[in-house]
Amino acid sequence: MTIVLAARRRNGAGPSAFDAAPAVPGDKSITHRAVLLGALARGTTVVANPLDAGDTRRSLALARAAGAEVRITDCDEDGHAGTGAVWRITGAPGAREAEAAGSPNGTPTVDCGNSGTTMRLGLGLLAGRPGAFRLTGDDSLRRRPMLRVVAPLRAMGAEIRGRRGGELAPLTVRGGRLRAVAWRSPVASAQVKSAVLLAGLQASGRTVVLEPTASRDHTERMLAAFGAPVERELLPDGTVAVAVEGGRMLRAACVTVPADLSAAAFFFVAAAVVPGARATVRGVGVNPTRAGLLEVLKAAGAEVHLRAERQVGGEPVADVTVTGPERLRPFEVGGDLVPRLIDEIPALAVAALAACGTSVVRDAAELRVKETDRIRSLGQELAKLGARVEELPDGLRIEGGRRLPGGSVSARGDHRLAMAFAVLALLLDGPVAVEGFEAVAVSFPGFLRSLAELPLDVRA
């Protein structure tokens, strides 16, 4: 699906300032974790304000395959949960033998679609259960690196097979008795850390994951709510060590999911690039391991206001307003900041194009193995619009402040590129056609409706 977007302008000048309060869905990372921990827990986990989207539905399917029961209430007619939806996950802690019935080669298959989180955390969950499962995904997911998760799980005793020695899905995991490991991950990845912790919960002994810098800590926070506290230690060289005791039975919990900062990001950037514009999102997660975007927008001169700061289900939450400055300054992103805003770099690229100078993103080679190679995709697609964007091995150099005429871009099947390009329309002199816009359904099915808060004319 291609949509065409054009900014509504003030007498030929920049786009009109706006005061947006877009609806933003529940946090994707937290919804995945509530479902998957719920599947391992004794009792019924209640998930309020879940993200109901392509990716999180994949985790529901994986939970069901693992023997959990899933009930969705407050659905509208087409079976998709509206606002106020609640998911109930009744766990299957005493892993039963996988039911092979109905699957062609005797091994139940879970299609993880586009969802890296479902596949990687799912491997950790299934590694500790008897029976075999085959995990596959769409073209993008079948190209993404899996050995980073497969290697520690194998070291714990799981049997995992896949293409290229287990680097690429489809993967078949045969779980069973696991032993604890101490695993040093070369990348700061919450998916690796979480997969090992999920397996560690089911292992005998104490499992430790070491990561070079802190990645998002939603799993650690949520495990405490499920009765399995995690110990965290910052070592003198900056390594973060996270440890969990095995053999602990999780207890079902009630999880209220905050609004997703990674979804809100597109509206915060929209406000930041239009002088005097404002965007407010209430109840949005501001976990410091995720909130790097707000720091960068602030450093670039945007006003960032947090009100009603509170804790919701162990996660810091606030009502956040971002206001666009007269001139947005260029910015540099690198080092420890990168894992705290890794998913926001497509949105930040839009901010960089609006800034008065050159912005640089470094130390972000992980972008090359996301839903697309986001360094290459951003470089090539933004160049189609006349932007000066230089690809670096581990990031991007983006020249801001140039007038851009508009044109056509492809989302390349990547939800965050689709949303970034839609917001970019605010900066362009002419309309932009975004091909493959339907990718937004992976994380933000209502994005088009929320986009009505911005001064954009949109044609499907």
From candidates 343, 344, 381, 414, binder to ligand S3P by CB under 6 A: 343
Find the binding residues for ligand S3P in span 10-29 (CB under 6 A): 29
Look at the alpha carbons of 7, 8, 12, 17 in this order and tell me if their dihedral is positive or negative: negative
Quick one: 129 or 148, whose CB is closer to ligand S3P?
A: 148
| Residue whose Cβ sits closest to ligand S3P | 29
Quick one: 32 or 57, whose CB is closer to ligand S3P?
A: 32
CB of 191 to ligand S3P, least distance (A): 4
Is 118 a residue that touches ligand S3P (CB under 6 A)? no
Find the binding residues for ligand S3P in span 42-81 (CB under 6 A): none
Size of the site for ligand S3P (CB under 6 A): 12
Q: Do 69 and 82 contact (CB within 8 A), yes or no?
A: no
| Rounded Cα–Cα distance for residues 44 and 254 (Å) | 9
From candidates 250, 259, 342, 389, binder to ligand S3P by CB under 6 A: 342
CB of 141 to ligand S3P, least distance (A): 12
| Rounded Cα–Cα distance for residues 211 and 186 (Å) | 7
Is 289 a residue that touches ligand S3P (CB under 6 A)? no
| Rounded Cα–Cα distance for residues 23 and 38 (Å) | 26
CB of 366 to ligand S3P, least distance (A): 6
Quick one: 57 or 278, whose CB is closer to ligand S3P?
A: 57
Q: Which of 343, 394, 414, 429 is catalytic?
A: 343
From candidates 117, 118, 287, 450, binder to ligand S3P by CB under 6 A: 117
Binding mask 212-251 for ligand S3P (x = CB under 6 A): ---xx-----------------------------------
Is 189 a residue that touches ligand S3P (CB under 6 A)? yes
Is 315 a residue that touches ligand S3P (CB under 6 A)? no
CA distances from 37 to 40, 47, 250 (A): 5, 11, 8
Quick one: 186 or 405, whose CB is closer to ligand S3P?
A: 186
**343 is an active site residue:** yes
Question: CB under 6 A: which stretch of 184-192, 289-297, 304-312, 444-452 binds ligand S3P?
Answer: 184-192
Q: How many C-alpha atoms does 9 have within 13 Å on its Cβ side? A: 13
From candidates 66, 112, 190, 352, binder to ligand S3P by CB under 6 A: 190
CB of 215 to ligand S3P, least distance (A): 6
Question: CB under 6 A: which stretch of 185-193, 228-236, 237-245, 327-335 binds ligand S3P?
Answer: 185-193
Is 140 a residue that touches ligand S3P (CB under 6 A)? no
Quick one: 90 or 118, whose CB is closer to ligand S3P?
A: 118
Task: Using CA atoms of 255, 256, 259, 261 in order, give the dihedral in degrees to the nearest 10.
Answer: -40
Task: Using CA atoms of 57, 60, 64, 69 in order, give the dihedral in degrees to the nearest 10.
Answer: -120
Is 31 a residue that touches ligand S3P (CB under 6 A)? no
Quick one: 215 or 321, whose CB is closer to ligand S3P?
A: 215
Is 203 a residue that touches ligand S3P (CB under 6 A)? no
Quick one: 375 or 426, whose CB is closer to ligand S3P?
A: 375
Is 337 a residue that touches ligand S3P (CB under 6 A)? no
Question: CB under 6 A: which stretch of 17-25, 103-111, 188-196, 395-403 binds ligand S3P?
Answer: 188-196
Is 191 a residue that touches ligand S3P (CB under 6 A)? yes
Question: CB under 6 A: which stretch of 1-9, 151-159, 189-197, 447-455 binds ligand S3P?
Answer: 189-197
Known catalytic residues?
343
Q: Which residues bind ligand S3P (CB under 6 A)?
A: 29, 32, 117, 189-191, 194, 215-216, 342-343, 366
